[in-house]
Amino acid sequence: MIETFSKKQSESSSIQIEYDESQDQIRVTFPEQIAFDTGRADLKPGFAQMLSSFEGFKRPDIVLKVIGHTDKRPVAGGRFVSNWELSSARASSVIVELLRQNLVQQNQVEAIGVADTMPLIDEDTVQAYAKNRRVEVLISSLNKSVVK
C-alpha cells in the first residue's frame, strides 16, 4: 500500500509516508503548501485530487484519523479565531472530501485538530512555521494486523 501511494504521488516529493510498526499504522503527511492556502481550510484543487489515492480504504477493518496542525503564530483575521478552529476545520475538510469521493465510510474516520501542540520543529523561523503547518492521515487496522 505504501508503495502504491508513493508511486501515485511521486511528483510530490514533499509528501511523507511512514509505517510505524509499533503502532501498526501508516502516517501520510501533507504539507500545507500542497493542501491549503495559509490561514484557510478549503482544500486546494490538486490536493482534493490527490486524496483519490485513498481508494480501496472503504473497508470496515480500516480506521483513518485525520489530524490538522498549525504553527504557533496566532490566527489573524478571517473566518477562524484560533489555531484550534483552523486545525480542526482542516482535518474536517479532508474527511468531507474523502466522503464526497466515496472513498471511506463515516464510521471509519475521525477529524482531530491539535493546533500548534505537536510541532515538528520548535523554532521561530519561517521554515519551521511552514514545516509545522500540515495535515496527517493515520491509517490503521482495527484487527491490528498489517494493513495491505
Q: What is the CATH number of the domain that holds 119?
A: 3.30.1330.60
Is residue 112 one of the residues assigned to a domain?
Answer: yes
Q: Is 113 contained in some domain?
A: yes
Neighbours of 146 (CB within 10 A): 10
Residue 21 maps to a domain: yes
Q: Measured between alpha carbons, how far is 58 from 110 in angstroms, rounded to an integer? A: 14
Predicted confidence (pLDDT) per residue in 2-61, tens digit:
665 555 555 456 888 888 899 889 999 999 999 999 899 999 988 998 898 888 889 999
The answer to whether position 28 is within a domain reads yes
- Residue 148 located in a structural domain: no
Rounded distance, CA 68 to CA 30, Å?
Answer: 10
Question: Within a domain: residue 104?
Answer: yes
Element (H, E) at 62: strand 62-69
Contacts with 144 (C-beta within 8 Å, 6 or more apart), sequence order: 24
Closest CA to 54 of 138, 144, 118, 111: 138
Query: Which residues form the domain of 58?
Result: 2-7+15-141
Query: What is the rounded distance in angstroms from the CA atom of residue 10 to the CA atom of residue 12?
Result: 5
Tell me, yes or no, whether 107 lies in a domain.
yes
Domain count of the fold of the chain: 1
Domain contains 129: yes
C-alpha cell at 51: 486524496
Residue 142 to residue 123: CA distance in whole angstroms? 36
pLDDT digits (tens, 9 = 90+) for 119-148: 999 999 999 999 999 999 999 998 654 444
Q: Look over the chain and give the mean of its residue pLDDT values, rounded to a whole number.
A: 88
Residue range 99-114, pLDDT digits in tens: 999 999 999 999 999 9
Q: How far is CA 92 from the centre of its chain?
A: 10
Alpha helix ranges (H) inside 31-76: 32-35, 45-50
What is the pTM (predicted TM-score) of this model?
0.88
SS3 8: helix
